[in-house]
Copies of this chain bind each other. A is one copy, B any other.
Amino acid sequence: MFEQYDLTKQVSDEDYKAIFPDLAAHLSRLQREARDLDLPVIITADGWNLSGISTMLHQFVLALDPRLYSYHAASTPTREEADRPFLWRFWLRTPTTGRMAIFDRSWYSRLTAERIHPGDGGAPERSLREITRFERHLTDAGAVIIKLFLHISRDEQAERIERIKQEPAAAVLIDGHETVRLEHYELYLPVFEGMIAATDTPNAPWTVVEAHDRNFTVIKGMSTVVHALERAIEERRSTVVPRYPAPLQPPSNKLLDLPDPSKHALSKKEYHEAINQYGEQITALQYSLYRERLPLIVVYEGWDAAGKGGAIMRLTRRLNPRICQVEPIGPPNEAESRHHYLWRFWRDLPKKGHIAVFDRSWYGRVLVERVEGLSSPSEVERAYNEINEFEEALTDWGALLVKFWLHIDRNEQLHRFIDREEDPEKQWKITPDDWRNRSRWDIYAASVAEMLERTDTKTAPWTVISTNDKRYARVKCLRTVAETVEQALK
């Protein structure tokens, strides 16, 4: 593939001086337009060692308004990062709407490393799938991704290796510059070709930049960015996002055909025995998870007043606060709402060996946001798939994932609302929003049914629990967590 590129291309200094200022001014204008249109922009530059990536990017950033971009230089993952899925650190650095993120080497380094060192336990096919999904999630939500690959020949690299030996001062910053060896060129060649072929998607295409001549590299790189931005800006201007709620199916799902909870009612004594038994089991199991470095993610979704708080408390009181975090999920704040909706859930992932309990979760996208018309029909449609892919990324990473839907019927909810309003210690738990949501019960019910239908996957199944009997429900939650962990540790 690389042989099709003519590496002799050059731009004379004279031409460069004539072209560059206009191009830079153009880029600067487009950046402000992208801001005004709330367009998030991602630029990645990868390429051969010593191909001049940061030299090129340096010229880009001089044209840009520093208020509107962040620059992310490659580095080996920190301990915090190594304890998370490999895309975690890149998710965290995705730009908010109207901003630009520049990656000086990107997530592709991982893929390359896994191919070059197949013995190190990497899974390049999986990483490839993750990367494609990552880029698609972002571009589907409106981001522009521009990927540049700086290409040089074996001879050119050899020459640059020699040159750097003469000038060690500037080399301190070149990642692994001490270990760039010529014999690696042949090793990397098929890896880079395969990588570009496999990830040159319509939504995030690669541009190979012939990088022998510095002037040419800058002009071609910057022109690529300018054209991609122009296209994206034009497209954004002509797009109208519909803001009506997605249509709904009738409210039924076989998972909701719950057995009559009265048959399961537990006596106080039975309840306490069971809660203690599973609780003690979980206390012990958490340390095994910690030692085995398995992350555990427990998601609680359910009707208002279905007893999420009580169920969560029965779990967390058994867990050491040094390894368990509770993430209460409300409406996104201003910063969060300027990111992809999955961004804050990526951010809140537990470390390996730690436990994250989500009190509501990413499912808000297809529940409250859907019902309130905050997500468009196509966003809802995409969300099912994105959520399944997100959860697959988690389980592939090694996480144990438990998802609860706590179910009550409409009458039981009314009883509980009234109880709360009458008890001064519980009044704070009930708000006008709760009553408003209740008035839309049928629409919610249909959303719940469709959600269970489309996100009950083999790797991340739902556990639906009737909580009309609270004791039964709390025990069932604890037991499910305990059994899932025990199963995984076998």
With both chains docked as a complex, state the minimum distance between the C-beta of A443 and any C-beta of chain B, in angstroms.
Answer: 26
- Taken together as a complex, chains A and B put the C-alpha atoms of A317 and B79 apart, in Å, by 32
| Interface mask (A69-108 → B, CB under 8 Å = 1, otherwise 0) | 0010100001110000000000000000000000010000
> For A169, what are the chain B residues with a Cβ–Cβ distance below 8 Å?
284, 287-288
- Taken together as a complex, chains A and B put the C-alpha atoms of A57 and B172 apart, in Å, by 46
With both chains docked as a complex, state the minimum distance between the C-beta of A389 and any C-beta of chain B, in angstroms.
Answer: 28
Contact across chains for B71 and A325 when beta carbons are under 8 A apart: yes
- Closest residue to A284 on the B side, CB-wise? B169
With both chains docked as a complex, state the minimum distance between the C-beta of A333 and any C-beta of chain B, in angstroms.
Answer: 7
The reply on A326 being an interface residue by CB < 8 A is: yes
- Taken together as a complex, chains A and B put the C-alpha atoms of A166 and B291 apart, in Å, by 18
With both chains docked as a complex, state the minimum distance between the C-beta of A477 and any C-beta of chain B, in angstroms.
Answer: 16
Interface-located stretch among A7-15, A58-66, A150-158, A461-469: A58-66
Contacts A54-B320, A173-B322, A321-B61 given; does A333 touch B335 at CB 8 Å: yes
The reply on A202 being an interface residue by CB < 8 A is: no
Count the copies.
Answer: 2
- Taken together as a complex, chains A and B put the C-alpha atoms of A288 and B78 apart, in Å, by 24
With both chains docked as a complex, state the minimum distance between the C-beta of A246 and any C-beta of chain B, in angstroms.
Answer: 28
> For A291, what are the chain B residues with a Cβ–Cβ distance below 8 Å?
172
> For A327, what are the chain B residues with a Cβ–Cβ distance below 8 Å?
66
- Closest residue to A334 on the B side, CB-wise? B334
How large, as a class, is the contact surface on chain A?
35 or more
With both chains docked as a complex, state the minimum distance between the C-beta of A102 and any C-beta of chain B, in angstroms.
Answer: 8
Contacts A67-B328, A80-B80, A333-B335 given; does A287 touch B173 at CB 8 Å: yes
Contact across chains for A321 and B79 when beta carbons are under 8 A apart: no
The reply on A32 being an interface residue by CB < 8 A is: yes
The reply on A323 being an interface residue by CB < 8 A is: yes
The reply on A223 being an interface residue by CB < 8 A is: no
- Residue in contact with A335 in the complex, picked from B80, B335, B359, CB distance below 8 Å: B335
- Closest residue to A68 on the B side, CB-wise? B328
- Taken together as a complex, chains A and B put the C-alpha atoms of A288 and B168 apart, in Å, by 11
> For A73, what are the chain B residues with a Cβ–Cβ distance below 8 Å?
321-322
- Additional pairs, 7, CB under 8 Å, beyond known A62-B317, A173-B287, A334-B335: A54-B321, A58-B321, A62-B316, A65-B328, A67-B359, A73-B322, A172-B290
Taking beta carbons and an 8 Å cutoff, which residues of A are in contact with B?
25, 32, 54, 57-58, 61-62, 65-67, 71, 73, 78-80, 104, 169-170, 172-173, 284, 287-288, 290-291, 313, 316-317, 320-323, 325-328, 330, 333-335, 359, 425, 428
**Residue contacts A-B, CB under 8 angstroms, 16 given:** A54-B321, A61-B321, A62-B316, A65-B328, A67-B359, A73-B322, A78-B80, A80-B80, A170-B320, A172-B291, A173-B287, A173-B290, A173-B320, A173-B322, A173-B323, A334-B334
